[in-house]
């Protein structure tokens, strides 16, 4: 039996991998490396560790790379049929599980668990099985496997059946729904998700709140946790990388351009988000408009620098949301703007260097999600801000558990309260802002990405 095992001692499984491919005009394949906590973590354990990343082919270029046998050492890309992936990823993971955990359904109309849902759920099972089989094939005897996120909730249970010798972990990067909301799922599906997760030896969550919600769901729907352990690992900002990257030449160029747009001597309220429904960008803009209404002394003295980068634009509800963000920003500019002052500087084209430039210029960071697993922007802005910044932070962000003491806390639905919090942040004495900012940075960098990954690996092996 042992001879049929693979060679990988540490395996990571995630929908998106560390590399992507595009077909060039001449037919050749171009590869592009990604970043993030998992990449940092795998780098930290070193190339001699026998690590393997199992991920999905997401694009035509990725699928072509798999067909041609092109790949990178340490990465196995799965060519799941495009229609199966679309059903599993958009139909179930992003349109059902993500909505449940973020509690975002408009319940008079949705969800509707009909025959089409069941058809898509079968694709989600197929997709998860493809990962479980690949991991079973590649893992050395007794290897450690770290499965990532809501796309792959069934993998631990499926893998446990195939390879009972493995140490299996799963990490959730989103919130976890409380039992009352999780109960919206069809009974058999809710049990299947929990049984899948409980196939792991250990489950990781970003905050104690999400871990407790999962435990409560298990007690209500699955008879408890069984032998599965639960832990909390609050992913922190990568301070060394961010500080170095934010002082490169392209960031300096973006800073000069942003300063032009902002104007001389003005304060800045900065937000950087993807246009995900949970990020609450529209209410953030409404709160800024309320600030200009309630506190006219800030007119022409402050600019809201809002970066809203399109996300999941293949889903109509996201396209509509992005359009509403743009419409409202234009409305505020038309209502309050003067020849020398544009109240909202909105950018919707993704530009990491420009995001870092905005971080450096931030007097106030606005992070007001309806519900968020962590929210790294809340941790990154204080680290990068040149003069220290005040943080207006939703109590529904996972980051609030660590940063709440030194942030100005808001109810994300309360536009009037958020406007008052923005005023408080803008009015904060420089010495208070500096002291708070130092404490925010210490909390935000307590568990940098490499350490975050290694802590999970050590806990799984322990």
Backbone angles phi, psi at 75, to 5 degrees: -130, 130
Question: Per-residue pLDDT averaged across 267-278, rounded?
Answer: 94
pLDDT (tens digit per residue) in 179-215: 999 999 999 999 999 999 999 999 999 999 999 999 9
- Residues 418-444 have a mean pLDDT of 97
Which whole-number Å values give the CA distances from 200 to 48, 287, 431, in the listed order?
Answer: 25, 43, 48
Question: Please, how many CA atoms are within 13 Å of residue 271, restricted to the half-sphere of its CB?
Answer: 30
3-state secondary structure of 200: coil
Tell me the two tokens of residue 92. Answer: 């179930």
| Residue-wise DSSP of 231-298 | EE------HHHHHHHTTSHHHHHHHHHHHHHH-TT-EEEEEEEE--GGG-HHHHHHHHHHHHHH-GGG
Look at residue 4 in the predicted model and tell me its pLDDT. Answer: 72
Nearest to 379 by CA among 357, 363, 403: 403
One domain, residues 224 and 300: no
Residue range 56-75, pLDDT digits in tens: 999 999 999 999 998 888 99
Q: What was the pLDDT predicted at 462?
A: 81
Hunting for tokens 């340490």 — which residue is that? 74
Domain shared by 194 and 303, yes or no: no
Identify the CA nearest to 19 among candidates 79, 61, 69, 68. 61
* Least confident span in 24-38, 105-119, 410-424: 24-38
Task: Pick the more confident residue, 105 or 42.
Answer: 105
- Whether residues 208 and 249 share a domain: the answer is no
For the chain, the domain total comes to 2
What are the Cα distances from residue 161, in Å, to 6, 39, 164, 226, 361?
A: 17, 28, 6, 16, 52
220 and 140 both lie in a single domain: yes
| pLDDT band of 317, cuts 50, 70, 90 | confident
What span, in angstroms and rounded, lies between the C-alpha atoms of 170 and 149?
Answer: 7
CA distance 173 to 167: 20
Q: Are 178 and 287 contained in the same domain? A: no
* pTM of full prediction above 0.85: yes
Dihedral sign, Cα of residue 369, residue 375, residue 378, residue 381: negative
CATH (domain of 421): 3.40.50.2000
Total number of residues shown for the chain? 462
Is 114 found in the same domain as 17?
yes
pLDDT recorded at residue 2 = 42
Residue 435 and residue 455 in one domain: no
Q: Which residues contact 422 (CB under 8 A, 6 or more apart)?
A: 269, 287, 288, 291, 364, 366, 392
- Name the residue range of residue 333's domain: 239-444
Residues 213-251: b if buried by 16+ CB within 10 A, e if exposed: bbbbbbebbbeebeebebbebbbbbbbeebeebbeeeeb
| Domain co-membership, 229 together with 170 | yes
Q: Is the pLDDT of residue 234 over 70?
A: yes
Exposed, middle or buried, 83 (CB in 10 Å: 0-12/13-18/19+)?
A: exposed
Measured distance CA(185)–CA(191) in Å, rounded: 9
DSSP 155: H
Q: In what order do the strands lie in the sheet with 8-13?
A: 75-78, 51-56, 8-13, 139-148, 167-172, 202-205, 229-232
Distance (Å, rounded) from C-alpha 129 to C-alpha 159?
8
Q: Are residues 168 and 45 in the same domain?
A: yes
pLDDT at 42: 67
CA angle 408, 412, 415 (to 5 degrees): 90
Token pair recorded at residue 193: 């998700």
Of the chain, the end-to-end C-alpha distance in Å amounts to 25
Query: Residue 420, Cα to own-chain centre: how many angstroms?
Result: 28
- Gyration radius from the chain CA atoms: 23
State whether 283 and 393 are in the same domain.
yes
Same domain, 267 and 167: no
List phi, psi (to 5°) of 230. Answer: -125, 135
Place of tokens 């660590």: 402
> Band of the pLDDT at 104, cuts 50, 70, 90?
very high
pLDDT at 224: 96
Percentage of the chain lying above the pLDDT 90 cut: 87
Reported confidence tier of residue 40, pLDDT bands at 50, 70, 90: low
136 with 53, same domain: the answer is yes
Mean pLDDT (whole number) for 288-311: 95
pLDDT of residue 1: 38
Average pLDDT over residues 14-36: 88
């Amino acid at each position: 039996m042992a001879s049929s095992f693979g060679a990988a001692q540490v395996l990571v499984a995630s929908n998106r991998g560390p590399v992507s491919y595009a077909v060039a005009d001449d037919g050749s394949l171009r590869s592009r490396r990604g970043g993030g906590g998992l990449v940092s973590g795998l780098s930290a354990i070193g190339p001699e560790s026998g690590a393997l990343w199992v991920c999905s082919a997401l694009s035509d270029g990725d699928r072509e790379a798999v067909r041609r046998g092109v790949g990178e050492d340490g990465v196995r890309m799965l060519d799941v049929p495009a229609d199966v992936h679309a059903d599993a990823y958009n139909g179930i993971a992003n349109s059902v599980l993500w909505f449940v955990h973020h509690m975002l359904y408009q319940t008079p109309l949705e969800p509707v668990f009909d025959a089409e849902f069941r058809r898509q759920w079968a694709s989600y099972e197929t997709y998860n099985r493809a990962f479980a089989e690949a991991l079973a094939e590649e893992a050395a005897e007794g290897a450690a496997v770290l499965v990532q996120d809501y796309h792959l909730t069934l993998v631990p249970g499926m893998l446990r059946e195939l390879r009972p010798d493995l140490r299996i972990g799963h990490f959730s990067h989103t919130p976890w729904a409380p039992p009352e909301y999780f109960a919206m799922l069809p009974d058999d599906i809710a049990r299947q998700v929990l049984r899948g997760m409980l196939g792991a030896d250990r489950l990781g969550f970003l905050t104690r709140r999400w871990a407790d919600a999962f435990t409560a769901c298990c007690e209500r729907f699955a008879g408890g946790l069984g032998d599965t352990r639960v832990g909390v690992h609050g992913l922190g900002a990568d301070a060394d990388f961010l500080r170095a990257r934010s002082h490169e030449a392209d960031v300096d160029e973006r800073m000069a351009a942003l300063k032009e747009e902002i104007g001389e001597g003005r304060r800045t309220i900065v937000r950087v988000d993807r246009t995900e429904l949970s990020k609450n960008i529209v209410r953030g803009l409404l709160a800024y408009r309320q600030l200009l209404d309630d506190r006219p002394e800030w007119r022409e003295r402050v600019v809201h620098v809002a970066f809203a980068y399109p996300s999941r634009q293949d889903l109509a509800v996201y396209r509509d949301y992005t359009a509403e963000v743009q419409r409202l920003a234009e409305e505020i500019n038309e209502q309050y703007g003067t020849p020398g002052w544009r109240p909202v500087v909105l950018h919707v084209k993704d530009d990491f260097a420009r995001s870092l430039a905005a971080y450096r210029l931030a007097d106030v960071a606005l992070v007001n999600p309806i519900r968020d697993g962590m929210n790294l922007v809340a941790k990154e802005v204080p680290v990068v801000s040149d003069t220290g910044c005040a943080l207006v932070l939703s109590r529904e962000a996972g980051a609030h558990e660590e940063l709440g003491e030194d942030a100005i806390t808001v109810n994300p639905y309360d536009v009037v309260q958020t406007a008052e919090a923005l005023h408080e942040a803008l009015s904060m004495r420089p010495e208070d802002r500096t002291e708070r900012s130092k404490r925010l940075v210490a909390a935000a960098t307590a568990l940098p990405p490499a350490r975050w990954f290694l802590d999970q690996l050590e806990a799984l092996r322990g």
